[in-house]
């Protein structure tokens, strides 16, 4: 006869765990999972700066899990576009380079000192625009307001997400469906 308290707990868990905080999916470590399947997937490795293959178990993974290497590269390579400008200390050579300014959403020139820069550093404007054109610093923006802020009893809460420029964004109001036990 504990149906009432169970429903309250389920609703509480659904509301408190509805969405992970926004963060770059490319920065989190790969998670193989705990099931027994062997599904070929790709993940972004922050240490090597590349997309690598792994076998996903089918459950308990995370969002650094892409179906194709191309999808991984498309999502995670754009993350360099939001890195700050780093001119670096002078290393004896002064080089004119391009960086993507995610506030103005334009490729702009800067003087690179030759040392200790980051990957938001392109040889040409064309190279900068090819990768970064249209990238925003905060790609998530505001999600649509919900007409009904809380689910009814015996409903489940589902949140719609999308990966935008490597960031896990909540893109829609949750929709409700009946729970089957």
Supply the CATH number for residue 91's domain.
4.10.410.10
For residue 114, is it within any domain?
yes
139-161 mean pLDDT: 53
The encoded tokens of residue 50 equal 């590349």
Whether the pLDDT of residue 175 is over 70: the answer is no
For residue 145, is it within any domain?
no
- Residue 136's pLDDT is what? 74
For residue 132, is it within any domain?
yes
Mean pLDDT over all residues of the chain?
A: 74
Q: Which residue has the higher pLDDT, 67 or 136?
A: 67
Classify burial at 60, counting beta carbons within 10 Å of its beta carbon; exposed 0-12, middle 13-18, buried 19 or more: exposed
Q: Which residue has the higher pLDDT, 107 or 118?
A: 107
pLDDT band at 166 (very low <50, low <70, confident <90, very high): low
Q: pLDDT (tens digit, 9 = 90+) per residue, 25-58?
A: 888 899 999 999 999 999 998 888 889 999 999 9
**Most trustworthy range by pLDDT among 33-47, 91-105, 153-167:** 33-47
For residue 127, is it within any domain?
yes
For residue 62, is it within any domain?
no
Q: What is the span of the domain harbouring residue 118?
A: 83-136
- Residue 144's pLDDT is what? 52
For residue 92, is it within any domain?
yes
User: Model pTM greater than 0.85?
Assistant: no
Whether the pLDDT of residue 104 is over 60: the answer is yes
Domain count, the chain: 1
For residue 128, is it within any domain?
yes
- The alpha carbon torsion through 181, 145, 25, 164 (nearest 10 deg) reads 120
DSSP, residue by residue, 120-172: --BSSHHHHHHHHTT--SS-S-PPPPPS-SSPPTTEEEEEEEEEETTEEEEEE
Q: pLDDT (tens digit, 9 = 90+) per residue, 112-149?
A: 998 888 889 999 999 999 888 888 766 565 555 555 55
- Residue 162's pLDDT is what? 58
- Residue 22's pLDDT is what? 44
Q: How far apart are CA 134 and CA 164, in angstroms?
A: 11
For residue 169, is it within any domain?
no
């Amino acid at each position: 006869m504990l149906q009432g308290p169970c429903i309250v707990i389920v609703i509480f868990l659904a509301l408190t765990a509805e969405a992970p905080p926004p963060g770059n999916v490319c920065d989190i470590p790969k998670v193989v999972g705990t099931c027994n399947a062997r599904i070929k997937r790709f993940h972004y490795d922050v240490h090597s700066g590349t997309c690598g293959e792994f076998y996903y178990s089918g459950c308990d993974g995370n969002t650094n899990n892409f179906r194709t290497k191309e999808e991984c590269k498309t999502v995670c390579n754009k993350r360099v576009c939001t890195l700050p400008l780093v001119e670096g200390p002078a290393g004896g050579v002064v080089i004119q380079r391009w960086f993507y300014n995610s506030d103005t959403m334009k490729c702009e020139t800067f003087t690179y000192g030759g040392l200790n820069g980051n990957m938001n550093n392109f040889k040409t404007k064309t190279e900068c625009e090819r990768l970064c054109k249209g990238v925003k610093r905060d790609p998530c923006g505001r999600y649509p307001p919900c007409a009904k802020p809380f689910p009814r009893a015996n409903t489940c809460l589902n949140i719609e997400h999308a990966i935008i420029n490597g960031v896990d964004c909540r893109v829609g109001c949750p929709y409700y469906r009946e729970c089957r036990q």
